[in-house]
Amino acid sequence: MVRVKICGVTCLEDALAAVGAGADAVGFNFYDRSPRYVAPQEAAQWSARLPASVLRVGVFVNAPEELIVRVTAEVGLDAVQLHGDETPDFCRALRAGFELRRVRVIKALRVDLAFDPTRARDYAVDAVLLDAAVPGVYGGTGRSFDWERARQVKASIEAELFLAGGLAPHNVAQAVLAVRPDWVDACSALESVPGRKDHAQLADFVRAAKGAA
């Protein structure tokens, strides 16, 4: 069964709603230019209230390694999602440093018409996340992309695949059946207003994803 990550969580209420709906991971955004930014101190308080079985993911964009390591320890993150222009060498070094702590490294790649699926093989990470490319924006756009690119990436990597980009209750089952990703990831499509989740939509999304045969 596919696992579900709910990203861009900005309050404890939404984090608990995601867990209650059956989500397997929640994402906290530590990119200070994002409308979904949360302070590490707040995220640490919410993280402590979540079941140990839920993966706590921190989203970073072109952050220095020192900041990522500090926030990971402060919040108690299980995984870091690098959603900027991080190089394969940066990802490799960060993963090596996290190996003993068992913190996973997820590299997000933005997919447009010029995207080369073989790029994903350059990154020695635990998982690759595919999102739609929008100029000047690092994720959370609600845009989708050609899932054939995702199928090509999945066939070429040994790491897990997170599928993001415009996924919502009405299309997530179709995406799961088309791509067979390890994870699906949703953010803006499940919001009532920017930064706050619609709990009914959230529950519908998890149900549709996990119900895909």
**Which tokens go with 30?**
């530590």
pLDDT tens-place string over residues 107-125: 999 998 889 999 999 999 9
Q: Determine the pLDDT at residue 137.
A: 59
* pLDDT, averaged across the chain: 94
Among candidates 131, 112, 124, which has minimal Cα distance to 181? 131
Q: Determine the pLDDT at residue 135.
A: 60
Helix (H) or strand (E) holding 137: none
pLDDT band of 142, cuts 50, 70, 90: low
User: What SS3 class is residue 97?
Assistant: helix
pLDDT band of 141, cuts 50, 70, 90: low
Active site residues: 7, 131
Alpha-carbon distance of 99 to 127, in angstroms, equals 14
Contact 4, 36 (CB under 8 A): no
The mean per-residue pLDDT over the stretch 159-163 comes to 98
Domain segments of the chain as ranges: 3-211
Which residue do the tokens 């222009």 mark?
Answer: 85
Q: Determine the pLDDT at residue 144.
A: 79
Which superfamily is assigned to 3-211 in CATH?
Aldolase class I (3.20.20.70)
Contacts of 13 (CB under 8 A, 6+ apart): none
